[in-house]
Amino acid sequence: AVQNNPNTTLVTPDAPIANDTHGGRAKCLQRLKRLDLPVPTTVALSFSAVHDIANGHLPDIRAILDQFPDDALLCVRPSSEDPDWGGPSAILNIGMNDTRFETLCGTLGVDAVSALYNRFVQSYAIHVDRLDPDMFDDVTGEGPQALLQTLEAYERETETPFPATRAEQLAGVLKSMARAWEGTSARLLRQAKGAPADAGLGLVVQQMAFGVGQGESGSGVLQLVSSKTGMPQITGRYLRQSQGRDALRRDANSLFITRDPRGPSLEDQVPGAFAQLVDHARLMRVKLREEMQVEFTIENGYLHILDGVRVSRSSRAAVRIAVQLARDGVIPRQEALMRIEPRTLNELLHRQVDRHAKRDILGSGIAASPGAATGRLVFSSNEAQASAARREDCILVRRETSPEDIRGMHAASAVITERGGITSHAAVIGRGIGLPCVVGVSDMRFQTRKGQLMTQDGRVLNAGDIVTVDGTNGTILLGAPEMQEAALDDAFTDLMDWADAERDIGIRANADTPADAQTARNFNAQGIGLCRTEHMFFEPGRLTVMREMIFASTSDDRRAVLARLLPMQRADFIQLFKIMQGKPVCIRLFDPPLHEFLPTDRNGQRELADALNLPLSDVTRRIEAMMEYNPMLGLRGVRLGVTVPEIYEMQARAIFEATIEASSEGDPVVPEIMIPLVSAKREVELVRARVDAVATTVAMTAGAAFDYKLGVMVETPRAALRAGDIAQHCSFLSFGTNDLTQMTYGLSRDDAGRFMSDYVRQEVFVEDPFHSLDIDGVGELLQLGSERGRAARPDVTLSLCGEHGGNPESIAFCRNAGFDYVSCSPFRVPVARLASAQLAI
Ligand code: PEP
Ligand code: MG
């Protein structure tokens, strides 16, 4: 008998059925049986039974049929281990033949039964005999006429009559479903969804509940929450005189589920069944520990539960559902945390293109900063600012952005660039300020001077045209598709609080401006891990002073100009310290090459000559003289600190004076000062001596005491290798994995975007190493550097502040290597908090 064969098992509360032997559907149906829900008789076929069927070995069909009443119609549905892996379509009404047709006509009426039979023959022909659906094109009308035409078409095509017995039909269906699963395209499809190559398929054979009949009959689905928001809301569809998932068809004339002024509903037409369904759904939620969609059929007023499936859900709904289950004590908080994929939080933090919106894709590139925004195309930062002044949303299009574009980026709703990768200027700034951004858009032609973009299929877009940038998946869309708003609600806050209670690695934010710092605070970052000070010099009014400083010919002149910048820097730091309320703030001293601050075009140079009262030729000559062949490997970072010490002295003074002022009003501040681009310990010694001297002077002048920490950014391979030497001179090491990746690979972070997709496609790199930390290479340097640094100075604080800080895999690596914290863009802080909690659970 069936019960004795583990491969074909009658589904009873205690039959040996498991997810990984019979699939999720079979297991779920067993759970429903255990809850004593009205589930029709079901037999489950195991993965191995189905595998055997695909190889030509049918199970004992008679033994299966013995479990069902002689005249019952059956359906077969797939049961894979994970419902998301899909499976062949269900086949309903197996057992229908001329004899059953006659008897059923007596009770259901000839039209209803003809429709059932017709549908069965057609789906059998298409799925089992794999005939072309076109062969039924000539079948017209409904009722017995149509049925006759269908049966004739079948016979014509196959040259055999339609299989008449239930056994024959069931065998055919089982064979076709088993084979469909083993087919190449089905395998590729499910592997793309994460299924292993040898994923099995189970099948369930279930007695049909009709859904058509003389009393109240129909089928539908019901769930207790909204799939879009996860909020409690009974929703679903019910279609009278229907089977399967007919009620969900777009054109179906379904009833509403709950009472509705727009039309009849299940609740008021069939109140008893409605109340039972809601009770069943509530029971399923608690016992199956999940929000379930109930699939049901009503047959002559009697309710059957055919199945329960996990409610489909947006990322936002997923958070609400998990949190609410934990709040209600149905699952522990840790499980709620584990149920949310950290990256999907991005969809809550930003506006998104609605999942169901139609997308007309114009081009694509690297998804550099998540979220979506719609606006009119503009091709310069000035135009972006002009748009903002008119309160018009705009999309800034640039070949690449430079520090001069910062104000334009702040004015725009999104940015797209032709060049650049995940750590290019546009990408870093975009993530920092929460601006959707797509970089390295290589499949569109950028004609920024002309104000045009051209798509591969020849469409031309002009300044003023409306497009939407989807920074979450890296596409540019025509027009204004429907959006879904950000959702930082109480469920999100609870989830984040629970994550903080679990995690054991610190999370800070990279923040340069007061606005960034505020975002970091709002997302509960534990401090600022990297404040890049150079952005402060691009503020209006400061750039000219900066240029004067660069042009100063003596150290004294330079000091005099820097003295004018000092109060501005001090004010910046006071603001940051105040916003962070005593939490640590790590300030990096000036990093970029100086020539980035100089005008590149003739007009700008002329203006500069005017401002400095110098002949134009002097200005151009000086600018040319400062040009470097490899500026990123040239005079920048600590090299400037060593050779032009006045800049770091001014910055140190601004930091210390701000420390005294902010501490006098609020929590005591202990600033952290970080030296960039170090490659030798002597660099640290030299800078340290000067910074210490400034600290002594400031403390004496103000008559106030304060503490501070000095640390080194490890972003050259040599600094990682020599971390032991270096750690002796500083209290923290922060790994700057952007430059470290660039220098380890010898791969320009600003140019790699152009060929990165080729490299990933051809599997040279598994992923863009600027995006996901290269554990094998760069990771080895981190490992060595952290070990050597710790060995030399056991209390040294270790951290990572490159763009990888927000990446879950990179956080896992840092946690294993014993890092104290990671620092990432403010908007990635929630992702990092959740990812690190999951690592600790
Ligand atoms: C780094 O190099 O990793 C870093 C954080 O600094 P930046 O991106 O400013 O070079
Ligand atoms: Mg760097």
Inform me whether the pLDDT recorded for 4 exceeds 70: no
155-201 per-position pLDDT tens digit: 999 999 999 999 999 999 999 999 999 988 888 888 888 899 889 99
The 10s digit of each residue's pLDDT in 684-696 is 999 999 999 999 9
What is the tens place of the pLDDT at every residue in 701-738? 999 999 999 999 999 999 999 999 999 999 999 999 99
The pLDDT of 9-22, averaged and rounded, is 95
CB of 802 closer than 6 A to ligand 1? yes
Atom number of ligand 1 nearest to Cα 428: 8
Structural domain ending residue among the three candidates 313, 328, 362:
313
In this model, does residue 367 exceed pLDDT 60? yes
pLDDT at 598 over 60: yes
pLDDT, residue 403, reads 78
Give the pLDDT confidence score for residue 197 in this predicted structure.
Answer: 86
Instruction: Give yes or no: residues 243 and 274 share one domain.
Output: yes
Q: Are residues 268 and 120 in the same domain?
A: no
Position 319 in a domain: no
Does 475 show up as a binding residue in the annotation? no
Which ligand is the nearest neighbour of the Cα of 770?
Answer: 1
By three-state DSSP, how is residue 780 classified?
helix
Partner residues linked to 363 by β-bridges: 476
Q: What's the whole-number mean pLDDT along residues 353-381? A: 93
Q: Is 737 in the pocket of ligand 1 (CB under 6 A)?
A: yes
Q: Find out whether 229 is annotated in a ligand binding site.
A: no
Instruction: State the distance from the centre of ligand 1 to the C-alpha of 706, rounded, in angstroms.
Output: 28
pLDDT in tens, 266-295: 999 999 999 999 999 999 999 999 999 999
CB 770 within 8 A of CB 732: no
Query: 727 and 748: one domain?
Result: yes
Indicate if 172 and 63 belong to the same structural domain.
Answer: yes
In this structure, the answer to whether residues 557 and 695 fall within a common structural domain is: yes
Under a CB-based contact definition with an 8 Å cutoff, are residues 217 and 241 in contact? yes
Residues 582, 666 contacting (CB under 8 angstroms)? yes
> What is the position in ligand 1's atom list of the atom closest to the CA of 742?
2
Look at residue 100 and tell me if it is in a domain.
yes
Q: Whose CA is nearest to atom 6 of ligand 1?
A: 736
Catalytic residue chosen out of the listed positions 22, 280, 350, 425: 425
Helix (H) or strand (E) holding 21, with range, is helix 19-22
**CATH code, 10:** 3.30.1490.20
Which range of residues forms the domain containing residue 227? 218-313
Give the mean model confidence (pLDDT) for residues 474-487.
89
C-alpha 676 to ligand 1 mean position (Å): 8
Q: Are residues 467 and 531 in the same domain?
A: no
**Rounded mean pLDDT, 217-233:** 94
Residue 737 marked as a ligand binder: yes
Closest atom of ligand 1 to CA, residue 801 = 5
Q: What is the CATH number of the domain that holds 745?
A: 3.20.20.60
Residue 690 pLDDT:
97
Alpha carbon 37 to its chain centroid, in Å, reads 37
The answer to whether the annotation marks 739 as part of a ligand binding site is yes
CA angle (644, 646, 652) in 5-degree steps: 125
Residue 5 pLDDT exceeds 90 = no
CATH number at residue 285: 3.30.470.20
User: Which one of the listed residues 75, 801, 814, 824 is annotated catalytic?
Assistant: 801
Whether residue 101 is contained in a domain is answered as yes
Same domain? For 466 and 530 the reply is no
Rounded CA-CA distance 262/253 in Å is: 13
Distance 592 CA to ligand 1 centre (A): 10
Residue 606 has pLDDT above 90, yes or no: yes
pLDDT per position as a tens digit, 436-453: 999 999 999 999 889 999
Which ipTM did the prediction report? Answer: 0.99
The answer to whether position 262 is within a domain reads yes
Which residue has 């329960």 as its token pair? 308
436 and 523 belong to one structural domain = no
pTM exceeds cut of 0.90: no
> Do 375 and 509 reside in the same domain of the chain?
no
Strand order in the sheet with 8-10: 8-10, 42-45, 201-207, 74-80, 91-94
| Chain segment 45-69, per-residue pLDDT in tens | 999 999 999 999 999 999 999 999 9
Q: Region 111-119: what's the mean pLDDT?
A: 91
Looking at residue 1, what is its pLDDT?
43
Confidence of residue 586 (pLDDT cuts 50, 70, 90): very high
**Test site for ligand 1: of 429, 537, 636, 739, most ligand atoms within 8 A of the Cβ:** 739
Assess contact for 702 and 722: CB atoms under 8 A.
no
Domains: count for the chain? 4
Which residue out of 423, 537, 538, 716 has the highest number of ligand 1 atoms within 8 Å of its CB and is therefore the one to mutate? 423
Picking from 313, 328, 363, the residue at the C-terminal end of a domain is: 313
339 inside domain = no
Q: Please check whether residues 455 and 576 belong to one and the same domain.
A: no
Q: What percent of the chain has pLDDT over 90?
A: 77
d(CA 800, CA 87): 44
Q: Does 175 map to a domain?
A: yes
Domain annotation covers residue 418: yes
The best mutation among 510, 590, 715 to test binding of ligand 1, ranked by most ligand atoms within 8 Å of the C-beta, falls on: 715
The identity of residue 453, as a single letter, is: L
Query: Phi, psi at residue 122, to the nearest 5°?
Result: -65, -45
**Residue 676's pLDDT is what?**
98
CA of 806 to the centre of ligand 1 (A): 14
Q: Kindly state whether residues 743 and 658 are assigned to the same domain.
A: yes
State whether residue 790 is helix, strand or coil.
helix
Mean pLDDT score of the chain, rounded to an integer? 93
In this structure, which residues have their CB less than 5 angstroms from ion ligand 2? 715, 736, 739
Lowest mean pLDDT, pick from 22-26, 498-502, 621-625: 621-625
In the annotation, is 535 catalytic?
no
Q: How far is CA 621 from CA 345, 551, 554, 615, in A?
A: 51, 11, 18, 10
Whole-number Å distance between alpha carbons of 505 and 816: 10
Q: Is 767 annotated as a binding residue?
A: no
Atom of ligand 1 nearest to the CA of 738: 3
Is residue 739 lining ligand 1, measured as CB closer than 6 Å? yes
Q: Which atom of ligand 1 is nearest to the CA of 739?
A: 2
Full 3-state SS string of 417-436: ECCCCCCCHHHHHHHHHCCC
pLDDT band of 2, cuts 50, 70, 90: low
Q: Is the pLDDT of residue 530 over 60?
A: yes
532 is in an annotated binding site: yes
Identify whether 599 is part of a domain.
no
Pocket test for ligand 1, best of 425, 431, 530, 740 (most atoms within 8 A of CB): 530
Reported as type and span, the H/E element at residue 460 is strand 460-462
Domain boundary among 454, 484, 514: 484
Considering every ligand atom shown, identify the ligand nearest to the alpha carbon of residue 738 and give its number. Answer: 1
- Tell me, using a 6 A CB cutoff, whether residue 512 lines ligand 1: no
Cα of 677 vs centre of ligand 2, distance in Å, is 7
Q: Do 639 and 724 fall within a single domain?
A: yes
- Give the phi and the psi of residue 577 in degrees, each rounded to 5: -60, -40
Long-range contacts of 448-457 (CB under 8 A, 24+ apart): 448/379, 448/380, 448/397, 448/398, 448/399, 449/379, 451/377, 451/379, 453/362, 453/363, 453/377, 453/397, 455/362, 455/363, 456/363
586 is catalytic: no
Decide if pLDDT at 817 tops 70. yes
Tell me which of 46-55, 291-300, 312-321 is least confident: 312-321
Q: Does residue 540 register a pLDDT over 80?
A: no
pLDDT(748) > 60: yes
